[in-house]
Structure 1
Amino acid sequence: MSILRRIIYSTFILLLVVSLFGCQRGLDRDPDLTGYVVEIAENNILIASETPVDLSKNGGVSNYYDMVWFSNPPHDLSYGDKVNIWYDEIQDSYPSRSTIVEYTIIEDISPNGAKFSESEVLNKVLSQLNSKPSELFAVHETRYNSQNKTWQISLMEIWTQEILTIEYSELES
């Protein structure tokens, strides 16, 4: 009888451990999207992937940025933040729509000699961008020039594929 009781107890513990591992969410897999906060509107936030995909071999654009509007934005996210996002089901559209299950802000450091970090400069540029309602931008490239203390921010308008380059001087701020 003692052996049977141990087998039942061991089986129960094993099932409990397996079920607890099955309940983990979000961080047990790679993020669904890694990118930048590029737009903030009433109760929504738009994240654009950090790296474009080349779809030109299939007749698409050469710089396709995955973009998702999230209807449950965390309050600690700001323009320019680079984030890892895990999300629920996604609605097929462009940009897509979903809800955030889990997120992490990717910490960035200032380049050598820079006064600001990449996310701080992107925050200043994106939050003051005077775009038309039909325009959506993705962060195409950021560069810091330590000699003249300027940032060069290249944004790509996703519909026209045009590059908008903005120079941000740390000397004037």
Structure 2
Amino acid sequence: MSNLRRVLILLSILIVCLTGCSGHIECNSVQTQANAPSEDGFTGYVVERKDNSILVVDPAYEDFSANGGGNRYYPAKWFSNAPDPQIGSYVEVWTDGGPENEPYPGQDRADKIAVSCPNTPDGAHLSEPDAIRGGLYLPDGEKLRVPVIEDVHYYQDAGMWTIRMRDAMSTTKNQDEIEIRVEDVEPVD
């Protein structure tokens, strides 16, 4: 009886370990090149890719109008060494702390990247990153030099996604917001 008990305990532990591992990989994909830095990383949406680099724009703006700057400054950085995250993904990126190149958007080397779980609402065929990617590739989305994803909403009754964006590089005072609609259709493999 004790051998059977040991086997059952080992099987239980194995099942718990496998379940825990698969949930971690499925929901929070992390790409690491070195030891994880201890401070908070740079968060935002991946809005463009070039080779092994991604452009990440934080939708939370800063207001520098009191100091003579813009009323909506959106932090944005190109990160090299980032082969995996797709356009539309919400990520947190840590760097090795090296010097950052300053022309806007900034440039830095990714040390670690955490990709948030993609949200797929009930009844939707597309995930949130799929809808964002679709919106960025539409003619209105392609006009934005540095797209800021301000809001993403799925309307189940209409089978439609609405993505509110603006251009972080806009020189107009209010940085006109655009709203793009993406039809929720099953993606083609």
Q: TM-score, normalised by structure 1?
A: 0.73
Q: Contact between 2:134 and 2:182, CA under 8 Å: does it hold in 1?
A: no
Partner of residue 177, structure 2: 163
Q: CA 1:60/1:143 → structure 2, altered by over 3 Å: closer, same or farther? A: farther
Residues 45-95 of structure 1, C-alpha deviations (whole Å, 9 max, x = no match): 211113222223333333221110122222x21110111100133122210
Residue 111 (structure 1) shift: 2.1
Q: Distance in 1 between matches of 2:121 and 2:71?
A: 29
Q: Which moved more, 1:92-101 or 1:160-169?
A: 160-169
- Structure 2: which 5+ runs fail to align? 1-33
Partner of residue 51, structure 2: 42
The one-letter code of the counterpart of 2:145 is E
State the one-letter code of the partner of 1:51: A
- Does the 8 Å CA contact 1:84/1:103 hold for their aligned counterparts? yes
Residues 57/103 of structure 1: CA separation in 2 closer, same or farther (3 Å cut): same
Identity of aligned residues (%): 29
Which whole-Å CA distance do the structure 2 matches of 1:123 and 1:91 have between them? 27
Q: Structure 1, unaligned stretches of length 5 or more? A: 1-23
Q: How does 1:20-59 map to 2 (within 5 A)?
A: 25-31=35-41, 33-59=42-68
Q: Aligned residue for 1:19?
A: none
Deviations 1:77-135 (A, max 9, x none): 11101111001331222100110011111112212332222112112222455635x82
Q: Which of residues 147, 150, 154 in structure 2 aligns to 1:144?
A: 154
Aligned length: 147
Inter-partner Cα distance in structure 2 for 1:162 and 1:63: 11
Aligned residue for 1:99, secondary structure, equals strand
Q: CA deviation at 1:138?
A: 1.4
Measure, in 2, the Cα distance between the counterparts of 1:30 and 1:172.
36
**Bigger radius of gyration:** 1
Residue 27 of structure 1, CA deviation = 4.5
Q: Confirm or deny: 8 A CA contact 2:125 2:186 kept in the other structure.
A: no
| TM-score, normalised via structure 2 length | 0.68
- Distance in 1 between the 2:123 and 2:71 partners? 34
CA RMSD of aligned residues (A): 2.3
Query: Within 1, Cα distance between the matches of 2:123 and 2:186?
Result: 15
